[in-house]
C-alpha cells in the first residue's frame, strides 16, 4: 500500500467517526455564572440551571442518587436531581430517623427506620422539596428537582461553570435555600450561540441570614 492511500484511508475513517459521533462533536457553549448578594458577597451552594424546551426534551433520570443521614444531618444538605430520578435515603447513624416532606412537588414519609429503606423515593415533578425529620427537629435538607440536564452548584467563591450546552435561548435560574420559603428562583434570559463562552453575574436579593 502506498503511503498516500494509507493517509486517505485514515481521513476516510476520521470522517466516518465524525459522522457517527455527530452531535457530540458539534460546537458547544459554556456559561460561567457568579452568584452574589446585592453587596457583592459570594453566594455558595446556589443551584444554577438553564431551562428551555430543548433542555426539557434532553432531561433523563440520574442513577444512584443518595440523600444520607449522618451525624443527625442530611448529607448533602442540598441534592439536585433531574426530574424522574430515584433517591435512596441511607441512615448512617445508630439512631433511627423518620424523614418526611410536605412540599407540593413530592409529599412523602419514611417511617422510623435504620439502615437504608429498600425502596427509593422517585421525584417526578420539578420544584423544591424540603426535608425534615420527625425525631430531630434541627434536621433540614433540600432536594431540588429540575426539568433540565444543565445545572450546577456554586463553589466557595460563588462561581459555577456549565459546559457542553447546545446553542439556544435559555432561562438562567438560580435558587438558594436562604431565599424566602416558596420564593421563585431568580430568572434571566440568555442566548447562546455555538462556541459561545459567556460570563454573567446574578444578584440574589432578600436572602434570609
Ligand atoms: Cu432524624
Q: In what order do the strands lie in the sheet with 168-175?
A: 151-153, 47-51, 168-175, 186-192
Q: Is the pLDDT of residue 9 over 70?
A: no
Cell of 69: 443521614
CA of 156 to the centre of ligand 1 (A): 28
Q: What is the mean pLDDT of residues 79-83?
A: 98
CA of 174 to the centre of ligand 1 (A): 29
151 C-alpha to ligand 1 centroid (Å) = 29
List, in sequence order, every residue forming a beta bridge with 48; answer none if it has no partner.
152, 174
Task: Give the closest residue to 170 by CA, choosing from 145, 153, 140, 149.
Answer: 149
- Specify the pTM: 0.86
Span 115-157, pLDDT tens digits: 999 899 999 999 999 999 999 999 999 999 999 999 999 999 9
Mean of the per-residue pLDDT values of the chain = 89
Q: 62-146: same fold as 27-59+148-209?
A: yes
Which DSSP helix (H) or strand (E) runs through 200? strand 197-203
Give the pLDDT confidence score for residue 26 in this predicted structure: 64
What does the pLDDT read at residue 30? Answer: 95
**Is 17 a residue whose pLDDT tops 90?**
no
Determine the average pLDDT of the residues in 77-91.
98
Whether residue 19 is predicted with pLDDT greater than 80 in this model: the reply is no
| Interatomic CA distance for residues 8 and 174, integer angstroms | 50
In CATH terms, the superfamily for domain 27-59+148-209 is: Immunoglobulins (2.60.40.10)
pLDDT band at residue 194 under the 50/70/90 scheme: confident
Measure the CA–CA gap between 163 and 30, rounded to whole angstroms. 4
Confidence (pLDDT) at 25: 54
Ligand 1 centroid, distance to 124 Cα (angstroms) = 24
Quickly state the pLDDT bin for 28 (edges 50, 70, 90).
confident
- Alpha carbon of 87 to ligand 1 centroid (Å): 17
What is the model's pLDDT at position 50? 98
Residue 185's pLDDT is what? 87
- Tell me the mean pLDDT in the region 89-96: 97
CATH 2.60.40.420 corresponds to the domain 62-146: yes
- For the chain, give every domain's residue range: 27-59+148-209, 62-146
Q: Residue 105: which of 28, 204, 182 has the closest Cα?
A: 182
- Contacting residues for 24 by C-beta, under 8 A, at least 6 apart: none
Rounded to a whole number of angstroms, the distance between the first and last alpha carbons of the chain is 73
78 Cα–ligand 1 center, Å: 16
- Tens digit of pLDDT for each residue in 196-209? 899 999 999 989 98
Q: 79 vs 21, 65, 86, 90, 126, CA distance in Å?
A: 32, 9, 12, 14, 13
Q: Distance from the CA of 70 to the center of ligand 1, in angstroms? A: 9
Amino acid at each position: 500500500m502506498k503511503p498516500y492511500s494509507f493517509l486517505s484511508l485514515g481521513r476516510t475513517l476520521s470522517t466516518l467517526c465524525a459522522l457517527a459521533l455527530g452531535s457530540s462533536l458539534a460546537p458547544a457553549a459554556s456559561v460561567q455564572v457568579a452568584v452574589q448578594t446585592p453587596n457583592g458577597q459570594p453566594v455558595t451552594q446556589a443551584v444554577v440551571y438553564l431551562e428551555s424546551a430543548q433542555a426539557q426534551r434532553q432531561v433523563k433520570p440520574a442513577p444512584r442518587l443518595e440523600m444520607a443521614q449522618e451525624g443527625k444531618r442530611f448529607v448533602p444538605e442540598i441534592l439536585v436531581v433531574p426530574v424522574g430520578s430515584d433517591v435512596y435515603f441511607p441512615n448512617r447513624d445508630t439512631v433511627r430517623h423518620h424523614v418526611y416532606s410536605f412540599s407540593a412537588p413530592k409529599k412523602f414519609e419514611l417511617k422510623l427506620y435504620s439502615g437504608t429503606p429498600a425502596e427509593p423515593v422517585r421525584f417526578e415533578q420539578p420544584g423544591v422539596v424540603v426535608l425534615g425529620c420527625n425525631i430531630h427537629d434541627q434536621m433540614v435538607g433540600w432536594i431540588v428537582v429540575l426539568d433540565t440536564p444543565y445545572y450546577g452548584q456554586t463553589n466557595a467563591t460563588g462561581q459555577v461553570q456549565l459546559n457542553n450546552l447546545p446553542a439556544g435561548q435559555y432561562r438562567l435560574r438560580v435558587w438558594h435555600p436562604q431565599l424566602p420559603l416558596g420564593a421563585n428562583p431568580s430568572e434571566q434570559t440568555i442566548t447562546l450561540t455555538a462556541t459561545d463562552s459567556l460570563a454573567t453575574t446574578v444578584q440574589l436579593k432578600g436572602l434570609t441570614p
